[in-house]
Chain A
Amino acid sequence: MMSSFQAKLESNTFVITAEVSPPKGIDCSDFLSISRSLAAMVDAINVTDNQGANMRISPLAAAALLVREGIEPIYQVTCRDRNRLALQSDLLGAAALGVTNILALTGDFISFGDHPQGKPVFDLDSVQLLNVIAGLNNGKDMNGHQLTGSTTFFCGAAASPDAEPLELTLIKIEKKAAAGAGFLQTQAIFDIPRLGRFREAVSHLPVKVIAGILVLKSAGMARYINKNIPGLTIPDHIIDELADAADPAAKGLEIACRFAKEAAPLCNGIHIMAMGREELIPQIIAALKP
């Protein structure tokens, strides 16, 4: 059965997704209450996979909890912690539990997180993972063995519109599209012309682009992200804007609203990363309304 998120994207409906982190522990009450509060205004909720290589409850379990609540998750799967058996096994489990959307990722390197002594796996890369999922959708495991029933996953991939050299980034994105990625969720956008350039560069591919919007709280937080979160770069002029603001938290929201509004016409949707301030998401969505 086609996911409702997929149906919306394929009918060119503008979508809104938001990221919610599964808890570090077993108490999922906050995770669920935030998700419930967002459910009515977003089209799907991204469930992160031990993001930043910080150990948390399994995204498979968290995604399944959302399904149970009638909320549509985008189950993020990284290649960092699981080999090809574990990835396929988890994906089959996710399908059986009603998870329909996957974001296939390489994963932040293990040295960034809270278990830097661990062994990074990377048995597959994100392109290979997408190919494996295409196989599962076709009723076969990656070695061609028949499965009892096929998955019906709608897959997406990550994209970094700012990453240089763009030509090299695009080669990988083309591979991801060829492997079946139907949507791209981008890293946080702080440069609209670059987003436009990226959008143009992928216009020949059958992928929908969902622009990442990051909600910042302060200049300090922005600097922390630049230092500690790979793939995320907040430009100096944004940091200055936060530093100069009388109320940096309000300024962060204003910046998020501004980029959401400017990115929206260039994209098929926006993806909000509120980083713990999910209560602000309705205001960002409201800013999109004409």
Chain B
Amino acid sequence: MIVSQQKPLDEILSELDGISRVFLIGCAKCATVCKAGGEEEVWQMQESLTAVGREITGSIVIDEVCHMLRTARDLRSRKEMVDEAEAIVVLACGAGVQSVSATTSKRTLAGLDTKFLGNIKRLGQFEQKCSLCGECLLSRTGGICPVTVCPKSLLNGPCGGMDNGRCEVDLESECAWKMIFDRLSDRGDAERIKKTVSAKDNSTRRQPGRLKLDK
């Protein structure tokens, strides 16, 4: 899921300078799990903005704000409240903010910072394991992604900064290549990483990504 985090209130307020009427949007999917834009956070945002003199014209938690058609439909159902507002604050990921901005001419503000595609380790703890690179190497690396888990995205083994199997960038973390090596060794498959991997084809991750399924 998409991991996001609420922006500091001061930052949201500075974007709301001169704006008194606000409509709030949350997302029932990822932003809810991240405790950044669910029912509870939308309510708290309403409290916080009201406390500094803003009028909340209404709010909605949309089931998947990234779904553009659904977002447009749900906002039409709150048309009066949206029309009354001078700005919309969206507590959803960057994709969600853009679903909203595509459906309205109102000023649309991002209430969250979108961080990464994350795995849920436990409640409130998320880790990035995939960076959406467009060409999956996991079958060859023991199911651990060096593109993501190694800060340098190295494809041929650890850098010189590996220290006792730890990563130079974060000594709290195990070196991705140490993990790959251990995993493949346990499976008797360590020979696999002796083969040089050629440079990655970065055209597979060109932006903006588009995918249209054949009917």
Residues of A near any B CB (own CB < 8 A)? 79-80, 84, 105-109, 111, 120, 122-128, 131-132, 142, 158-160, 163-165, 167-169, 171-172, 174-175, 178-179, 187, 230-231, 233
Contacts across chains A and B counted by CB atoms under 8 Å: 97
Say what secondary structure dominates the interface of chain B.
loop
Query: What are the interface flags for B168-196 relative to A under an 8 Å C-beta threshold, 1 for contact and 0 otherwise?
Result: 11000000011001000000000001101
Counting chain B CB atoms within 10 Å of each CB, which of A79, A106, A120 scores highest? A106
* B164 interface residue per 8 A CB criterion: yes
Q: Name the residue on A nearest B202 (C-beta).
A: A123
Contacts of B152 on A, CB cut-off 8 Å? 79-80, 106-107, 109, 120, 122, 125
Counting chain B CB atoms within 10 Å of each CB, which of A123, A124, A233 scores highest? A124
Q: List 13 A-B contacts (CB under 8 A).
A: A105-B160, A106-B152, A109-B168, A126-B156, A127-B155, A127-B156, A127-B157, A128-B197, A131-B198, A168-B162, A169-B162, A230-B160, A231-B159
Please state if A175 and B156 are interface contacts (CB–CB under 8 Å). Answer: yes
* B119 interface residue per 8 A CB criterion: no
Separation in Å of the B187 CB from the closest CB of chain A? Answer: 16
Separation in Å of the A161 CB from the closest CB of chain B? Answer: 11
Please state if A108 and B168 are interface contacts (CB–CB under 8 Å). Answer: yes
Please state if B161 and A109 are interface contacts (CB–CB under 8 Å). Answer: yes
Residues of B near any A CB (own CB < 8 A)? 151-165, 168-169, 177-178, 181, 193-194, 196-200, 202
Q: Within the assembled complex, what's the spacing in Å between the Cα atoms of A251 and B178?
A: 36
Contacts of B169 on A, CB cut-off 8 Å? 109, 111, 230
Contacts of A124 on B, CB cut-off 8 Å? 199
Contacts of A167 on B, CB cut-off 8 Å? 181
Please state if B151 and A171 are interface contacts (CB–CB under 8 Å). Answer: no
Q: Which of A127, A163, A175 contacts B163 (CB 8 A)?
A: A163
Please state if B160 and A163 are interface contacts (CB–CB under 8 Å). Answer: yes
Q: Name the residue on B nearest A105 (C-beta).
A: B160
